[in-house]
Every structure is written in structure tokens, then in C-alpha cells.
């Protein structure tokens, strides 16, 4: 696997995406202290409350990382035609991940764990990488 084939945007999307997937699956997004009964309950992003938004973001993040990896490491692979370019689709998907996670966060703001804050930062990083991809598309059409 030759990492020199990756553009800056691919590295940002891939790195932030992989860590975001781990964050969504394993890190605590909500941590409820049980007080005098002892202990606490932690919930990941794909568990309640609002698990639907976390699951959608997870599936989208997996798809984006997979597409970026296939396009970078197997350029001979023919991906299906889309109504927009693949770089635009990646940008829209990364923006959607950020919106889904912000929505999940804003709907239930009580008892937030560190995974929620890290997840929002990582989603922002993916969206930035997607924006760089989108800019690559614009540069190619103006050149």
C-alpha cells in the first residue's frame, strides 16, 4: 500500500474517517452518572438517545472512506456514474456526516461524553477534507 498515492484531501478524509468510525462505535457520547447508586452508564453514538443519526453517520463515514481508498489504491476500478462528480459526492457526503452528528448532538445535549466532542471535531475534519476534494474538482475544470 503506497501512501504517496494519497492527496492531502484523501489523507484528511481517510485519517479523520477511520478515527471517527472508532469514535462512533466505541467512545462514550453520553455518560449518565447514577449518583448514590454508584457507577455510570455510557452510550456510544450508535446507541440511544437518537441512535438513528449516529448509525446514518457511521454508514456514510464507512462508505466515504471506502470510496476514497478504492479511488486512491485501485484507480483502474470503474465506479458507477453519478449525476455529479465523485469529488462532489464525497464533499456532500462528508458535509452530511457533520450535519447528522450535529443534529444528534443538538437533539440531546445532556450528559455528553468526550466522544461527542471528539466526533464533532472529526466530522469537521472530514468535511474540510471533502471541501478540499471539491476544490480539486474546480481546479481541474478551470485548467
Question: Over pLDDT 90: what percentage of the chain?
Answer: 67
Q: Specify burial of residue 35 (Cβ count, 10 A radius: 0-12, 13-18, 19+).
A: exposed
Query: DSSP characters for 42-89?
Result: EE-TTSSSSHHHHHHHHHHHHHHHHHHHHHHH-TT--PPP-SS-HHHH
Domain count, the chain: 1
pLDDT for residue 1: 65
User: Is omega for the bond preceding 94 within 30 degrees of 0, making it cis?
Assistant: no
**Average pLDDT across the chain, whole number:** 91
Does residue 143 form part of some domain? no
Does residue 41 form part of some domain? yes
Does residue 110 form part of some domain? yes
Tell me, what CATH number does 133's domain have? 1.20.140
Residue span of the structural domain in which 55 resides: 3-138
Q: What is the pTM of this model?
A: 0.91
pLDDT for residue 18: 98
Q: What are phi and psi of 84, to 5 degrees?
A: -125, 170
123 has a pLDDT exceeding 80: yes
Amino acid at each position: 500500500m503506497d501512501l504517496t498515492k494519497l492527496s492531502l484531501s484523501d489523507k484528511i478524509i481517510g485519517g479523520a474517517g477511520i478515527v471517527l468510525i472508532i469514535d462512533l462505535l466505541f467512545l462514550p457520547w453520553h455518560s449518565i452518572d447514577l449518583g448514590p447508586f454508584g457507577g455510570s452508564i455510557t452510550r456510544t453514538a450508535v446507541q440511544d438517545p437518537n441512535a438513528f443519526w449516529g448509525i446514518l453517520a457511521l454508514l456514510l463515514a464507512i462508505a466515504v472512506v471506502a470510496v476514497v481508498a478504492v479511488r486512491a489504491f485501485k484507480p483502474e476500478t470503474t465506479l458507477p456514474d453519478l449525476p455529479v462528480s465523485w469529488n462532489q459526492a464525497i464533499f456532500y457526503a462528508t458535509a452530511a456526516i457533520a450535519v447528522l452528528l450535529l443534529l444528534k448532538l443538538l437533539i440531546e445535549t445532556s450528559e455528553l461524553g468526550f466522544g461527542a466532542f471528539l466526533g464533532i471535531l472529526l466530522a469537521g475534519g472530514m468535511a474540510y477534507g471533502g471541501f478540499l476534494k471539491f476544490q480539486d474538482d474546480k481546479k481541474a475544470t478551470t485548467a
